[in-house]
Structure 1
């Protein structure tokens, strides 16, 4: 199982600043030695706390600051103000300049501004000097701040109310705490809050003055809610909540806790519970409540388990796990990938008509930034009479995307929650095929998706040929459909009883002297089309074949289009049948819109399935050889089935 944790940082750097004599150095030394130091240096050396002794299991650097402005004459003069013992405030050897301070602020992940609860001047210094300085040195990012009131053992009152007003005016202030370096009261908590301000910051999640979640946080939580809504009813029932709990915290949600959560929602938000299930508004309210109670880490744990980084964006590592595709291999959907997409389709087909209406289509992809493909996809995949994708067309479109842009498939599988529902990386949803050279050597091909490049001169009806591959009824193929074609068309064909996906790529027509790019040549099978009624049409594909395919191992089929018209003699050295005979190709196949026979597409898929039989012209009349080839592909499929079954048997490791 591959679990995404999205750890925000590998270490935390804490800087302590504040007026002279507030106890910055004593706080650090008390934390390290667990006792109040009697001899306090002017400045503590930078210390590193190992990960295994910190609550968040993150190594932490703590940096002290001693500034040149902090002399005896500038020290607060409030009665009873206690100086740290044995500090010689006239010694400037350890003092730092404002430039050095600015550099330390930039390097720090969080700044703790320390003040003395017994000295109002040091409290005023927070807004008069320290917060403005932190802001000035952090222009490109908001640096989290923790306000620390030291020497609480000397007073019998609290400054928290005053500090809370500062927090309202300065969003970068994450939290505040009162402590005592002498009695060790809240010392560990102070540094925990500093760590927490870095690892689980409030600012990206919550707007203090509005007492509400940020829009970016809401957007992320809405997506998480939709992904966890397995049955698509807009609610999280007990099963879905438990699934969510296990995903985020690796533990079930106890029935008593679940009842308490529902009781809180019913008490605080009128529409938080419906049909004994949690609504979206209730889900958002819970996270708002977590943050208000100082449990930012709970919301951050959820966000990170669903792939979000510190900026509340889904990280690239989550969307695009590394995948290595050897040269000559291709990418297809695995069985698990297909099953996941089938379940998504069936869940989204709310009216059960076997197709996705535009509304159902948009709702399905509402958890994604944008749909991966347009709703107007009838020129690319099979659809129903309304032009809506059927389940068959849905799988066709995903198979096409996986073949030509596997990273996009991985990205959208992550958006749709494959990682969540399958509890594994979306790499489990794809299959990398064997290299083509190995297929040729073994004379076996176990691929399920083949790429066919359709190449021909202008007006040779390439677009019509590709569109006809999708049309069940050619009468429904309108002039607009023929004039406007997508780059690809994909459908399934039967190759000796095995269903295969065939992708037709319409390669743009050029002048015969213009070179084809390698990406326009390399494919599983090439279909060279010409207009049988145009005497100059065949020369184009003849030259293309000689230049690019005669010496390659790519099977080629020549197709004459507009076969319902009178055939013209071609202005070329050889007529099409003679050309095919010379180069040991199958004789030209003929195609017309009026008589759309699907056998030409089956021939293309068969040639792609058996690339070692490139010179089909020699074997096309030998039915025994074709029968053996078909038996070979069936055997390969059966062997593959038993291999998969062996790997996923009861005793297999998971």
Structure 2
């Protein structure tokens, strides 16, 4: 594999090129460094602060524009300094070689200050005025800088220079530009001297994509295709032999009778990086769509997006079929379960397993073997697509989805239109679970994903999700239901947003049927949600859930619940007992309510009054319009009559 450069747009993501900010203590040679680099002459008179300086585009091989920003360390220019540092692609920190105190200031002030400001860009440490340091006091730069670089890993490299004697001036900004275009830290762990996990995963995916015959090795033809794709030039047969010989000498398993193995492919890239040829690996990564964080670039993810908040995003049938195939491919022991090691293998070409973090890590049902069933696997994909469609499609591509990214998801019709048409074509429904503390919300979510009932109450103020497939009796199909638990403390904050209910297909209100205050609080929440829906137009079907049916109900529970449900025009409360496993088909009933979005919508007294008022106004307008029409007809008839009378008299 030969090396090659990357274009400005693909490397930096910034058409303006690379912006390098030079900072450091006063009189450490910042301005002289910049002028000498740009003009190739040592300046006799240097202004206190230079304007932005553009280096000639042909000065470095990448031919990417480099703009250098001079800064002042004076207190009155503090705001400008911070502003420029925040916009930097790289920072050059200067010290004076003849003034050790300016070197000390790097670790006591400048580097900690960059961290405090969260300026997370490569740093080049530059010792200026090398000509002023006495020859009788030689200094080992590596010895001096090693402790600082150990403490501040953001330092990419250190260099000493002299503007007066033109020593290593172009190199300063070449290293800075190179650190932006071809950064080391995302690829290589300097301490361990190994490729970083995310880099390994990206290279593994690239290897698999280039291994067209799927035999676990890159043949000579496949290696040549790879070279042409990445570097626009073929490999000569002798070069292919040479590459494989280098690998085999160092790593026997890097080459087999079919060609270069994945182990050999990774070894080659580690070798390039160790030899300072990071541009080779970066060119490969960028040709396959990766950015500097070793994730797919945005331009690789062309997706249909929601236009309205009450639309949602679902996987298409094409994507679902792909995922079913992937499930059985990675279920290597054919036990109907993807266990932890099989899931890690599945996501071994993604930056990380996306389901190792909230809300996905605890959202789906685990099998008796501790893994995911097909339903659980597909349900987690449905949840990720609902909550973060871009990330979902990104991960589909990582694990091998070959179709156009826009073919993987679809945007559903607006919920408002679903209510008007009295039907929906969604396959994934989101249910908001409201209720006071200790009502049984968490127990309901846990039971939905097969977790055992826990007697002890554990307070929690975070939102949680549970997702599963729900059988449709008599239809032979399944729909995916997402339960989103809204903690009592979060209801007010949620409803402060106008579009709070836009993503909701059904809302349920869980109360402890043995506790009157629990019922009263749940009723208040129901009224608040109903009022919010009436005011914003995001009305949702609502169900009342009477939990803990294994306990004795409070005295007036039946009368209270009957009155409220009748007054608001919704179904009577559904009794359940998670302790006894008696759920009264609650999950099918939630799905049914979602499939009939025009029903089970509660009406408040204020809402009824508004409707009556609108009916009255509409009726009045109708009477007025009918009366006006009668009057017009009468006037026309009179005119005809008058005209005829005049005609006969004449």
* TM-score category (smaller protein): 0.5 to 0.7
Q: Name whichever structure is richer in helix by fraction.
A: 2
Deviation at 1:558, TM superposition (A): 2.5
How far apart in 2 are the matches of 1:383 and 1:377? 12
Match among 542, 557, 570 for residue 585 of structure 1: 570
Report the 3-state secondary structure (helix = DSSP H, G, I; strand = E; otherwise coil) of the residue aligned with 2:252. coil
| Gap regions ≥5 residues in structure 2 | 1-7, 23-28, 70-80, 112-121, 129-139, 147-155, 161-169, 604-650
Whole-angstrom distance in 2 between the partners of 1:493 and 1:423: 29
Q: TM-score, normalised by structure 2?
A: 0.58
Deviation string, structure 1 residues 112-136 (Cα, Å, up to 9, x no partner): x9xxxxxxxxxxxx99769999998
- What is the alpha-carbon distance in structure 1 between the residues aligned to residue 336 and residue 481 of structure 2? 22
Matched residue, 2:430: 451
Tell me the distance in 1 between the aligned counterparts of 2:444 and 2:198. 44
SS in 1 for 2:454: helix
SS at match of 1:604: helix
Residues 311, 414 of structure 2: 8 Å contact kept: yes
TM-superposed deviation, 1:219 = 3.8
Match of 1:225 in 2: 203
Q: Give me the whole-angstrom Cα distance separating, in 2, the residues matched to 1:582 and 1:537.
A: 19
Question: Which residue in the other structure is 2:416 paired with?
Answer: 437
Q: Is the 8 A contact 1:468 1:596 kept in 2?
A: no
2:544 aligned partner: 558
3-state SS of 1:466 partner: helix
Q: Which residue of 1 aligns with 2:249?
A: 267
Deviations 1:574-594 (A, max 9, x none): 443444333322344343455
Distance 2:294 2:106 in 1: 25
Among 373, 397, 415, the residue aligned to 1:390 = 373
Residues 375 and 419 of structure 1, relative CA distance in 2, 3 Å threshold: closer
**After the TM superposition, which of the residue ranges 359-368 and 196-205 deviates more from structure 2?**
196-205
In structure 2, the partner of 1:283 is 265
Equivalent position of 2:509 in the other structure: 528
Q: 2:353, 2:256 → 1: CA distance?
A: 29
Listed one character per residue, the Cα deviations across residues 516-553 of structure 1 (whole Å, up to 9, x for unaligned) are 74278662112233455556654443343334326642
Distance 1:204 1:374 in 2: 24
Shift of 1:251: 7.8
1:56 paired residue number: 62
Deviations 1:482-508 (A, max 9, x none): 867982221123556653211123333
Q: Give the counterpart of 1:545 among 523, 526, 547.
A: 526
Q: Work out the number of aligned pairs and report it.
A: 519
Looking at structure 1, the residues matched to 199 and 371 of structure 2 have their Cα atoms a distance apart, in angstroms, of 30
| 1:180 aligned residue | none
In structure 2, relative to structure 1, the CA distance for the partners of 1:268 and 1:462 (3 Å cut) is: closer
Deviation of residue 394 (structure 1)? 1.6
- SS of equivalent residue, structure 1 residue 265: helix
Instruction: Report the 3-state secondary structure (helix = DSSP H, G, I; strand = E; otherwise coil) of the residue aligned with 1:488.
Output: strand
Q: Measured at CA, do residues 352 and 306 of structure 1 come closer, stay the same or move farther in structure 2, by a change above 3 Å?
A: farther
Distance 1:255 1:142 in 2: 41
Unaligned 5+ residue runs, structure 1? 32-36, 64-102, 114-125, 148-164, 177-188, 472-476, 618-654
Matched, 1:490 2:467: yes
Establish whether residue 503 from structure 1 lines up as the match of residue 509 from structure 2: no
Residue in structure 1 matched with residue 117 of structure 2 by the alignment: none
Tell me which residue corresponds to 1:353: 335
Q: Give the TM-score normalised by the residue count of structure 1.
A: 0.58
Q: Give the match's secondary structure for 1:601.
A: helix
Alpha-carbon distance in 2 for matches of 1:220, 1:388: 24
In the alignment, the residues of structure 2 paired with residue 607 and residue 194 of structure 1 have an alpha-carbon distance, to the nearest angstrom, of 63
Q: In the alignment, is the contact (CA less than 8 A) between 2:568 and 2:602 conserved in 1?
A: no
Check whether the contact 1:135–1:143 (CA below 8 A) recurs between aligned residues.
no
Q: Could you tell me how far apart the structure 1 residues matched to 2:57 and 2:434 are?
A: 62
Q: Please tell me whether the aligned partners of residues 174 and 197 of structure 1 are also in contact (alpha carbons under 8 angstroms).
A: no
1:372 aligns with 2:378: no
Distance of 2:375 and 2:524 partners within structure 1: 38
